[in-house]
Amino acid sequence: MAKYIYEYKNWTEFFWQDKAINGLFGEVRLMQGKIIGQMNALGFSAKEEATLTVLTLDVVKSSEIEGELLNYDQVRSSIARRLGINAAGLVSSSRHIEGVVEMMLDATQRYALPLTEKRLFGWHAALFPTGYSGPYLTEVGRYRTGEMQVVSGAMGKEKVHYEAVKPKLVKMEMDKFLDWFNNEDCLDPVLKAAIAHFWFIIIHPFDDGNGRIGRAITDMLLACAEGSGERFYSMSSQILAERKLYYEVLQKVQNSSGDITEWIDWFLHCLKNAMLSTENTTQKILRKAEFWKLHEHTPINERQRLILNRLFDDFEGKLQTSKWAKIVKTSTDTALRDIKDLVEKGILKQTDEGGRNANYELVDFKLE
């Protein structure tokens, strides 16, 4: 069986083929600058909206990679409250969501602070506030004391994809990682983000939550690369979209003897794709900002505001009275009154499709 990368002597002296990644690396750095330029031209409230949308996506998608679906509105509300963003339709959030958000914001907003064992343990504890991961008791706020295998397949037919560093070596390996993380100043932070993600995942230092913490570390270094806690693209959303390839490349490079070119190449491609899909998000945010500018004096209640914002974000399926009532937790009569009011104001219109349930959509608008 092939050796794991950590079984080689001096395994953390990673190397890569500069020629293979230089073109792509330059492209990614250029795109980062372009996106920041575009966002700075947006104006304060639209920029705030962009950060709120991207951070919400990042938290939701990072958990989705682990098969956990978080409530979008609760995540958004938690982030808005913590960043002091005056967003409409805030709802209360569960303790678990507050913890996940706390970790992500600590990584992205305090990106300039050192990453310490204590800080990592705090993140880990925030992810598992009850001490359980699903139905399983988990070792919270400390490094794992048990073996760690990544397996798949039915019981009795499990396939081991990866066996992590032995528990007795975890602290020593993490001390080395944190020392490098806090003192390596010669590497570009984008390359450093790629290496840190890989290195951390290889150690797999916790009982659970390694993927989410690994992605938070990535976001921290990307914030460092841009010198800003404002996030305008979501790496986690892109990793989710490319999850199959992500695991394939990880699996391949975990058996290399130190050459991580293929991993860095994948990471940079993923980052580039994350930024490309941001252009679409930016258009949506601009459209949303224009809409609220147009309607700054239109009387709109909190329920209507919540749904209208959702229509500009990532509303799934058709808007119907029953769906409105369910989202804002109100009666169908109140939902219908809210909808009819917006139809009269020329904001919503009924679509042409027939059928028992009427569907509604936003009326196209233009700023004068």
Fill in the DSSP letter of residue 259. Answer: B
What pLDDT does residue 287 have?
Answer: 84
What pLDDT does residue 271 have?
Answer: 98
Class of 303-362 per CATH? mainly alpha
- Positions of E strands within the chain: 132-133, 136-137, 149-152, 159-163, 348-350, 360-362
What pLDDT does residue 90 have?
Answer: 86
User: Is the full-model pTM beyond 0.95?
Assistant: no
Q: Could you say which residues of the chain have pLDDT below 70?
A: 1, 314, 354-356, 367-368
What pLDDT does residue 151 have?
Answer: 85
What pLDDT does residue 28 have?
Answer: 97
Give burial (CB, 10 Å; 0-12/13-18/19+) of 268.
buried
CATH architecture of the domain with residue range 5-287: Orthogonal Bundle (1.10)
For the stretch 235-273, pLDDT in tens is 999 999 999 999 999 999 999 999 999 999 999 999 999
What pLDDT does residue 87 have?
Answer: 77
CB 346, CB 352: distance < 8 Å? no
| End-to-end Cα, the chain, rounded Å | 68
User: CATH 1.10.10.10 in the chain, residues?
Assistant: 303-362
What pLDDT does residue 11 have?
Answer: 97
What pLDDT does residue 272 have?
Answer: 97
User: CATH 1.10.3290.10 in the chain, residues?
Assistant: 5-287
Q: Could you tell me the maximum CA-CA distance found in the chain, to the nearest angstrom?
A: 72
